[in-house]
Amino acid sequence: MTITRDEIFEVVKTCLKEALDEKSKEMPADLGNDTELFGRGALLDSLGLVTMVMDIENRLEDEHQTTVVLASDRAMSRRQSPFRTVGALVEYIEAQLTGTAE
């Protein structure tokens, strides 16, 4: 795997910004691993999440030549949702790419 955690974070950030832009929502100034993506009071609704996740998959493929399926039954059945926070999603993507996901 040639992509670093920081690069994954950047991809997530770019895609999140686009998803928010579409809805004319502001990107949080203090975006970090703890920023809540999806859930009560979080940044994205379910369609926004679907759009962002698909965008992340596309960008990883186009810009980093890595294919990963993020929206899967496996992701959905994890005890801790990988879509809850930015940090959880970055970690999940990294685990998928290195094959260390359970």
Residues making contact with other proteins (CB under 8 A)? 18, 22, 46-47, 49-51, 53-54, 71-73, 75-76
Q: At what angle do helices 86-98 and 5-22 cross, to 10 degrees?
A: 130
CB of 30 to other proteins, least distance (A): 26
Output 34 or 47, the one with its CB closest to other proteins: 47
- φ, ψ dihedrals at 58, nearest 5°: -65, -45
State the Cα–Cα distance between residues 50 and 76, nearest whole angstrom: 13
Task: Report, in Å, the least distance between residue 9 CB and other proteins.
Answer: 20
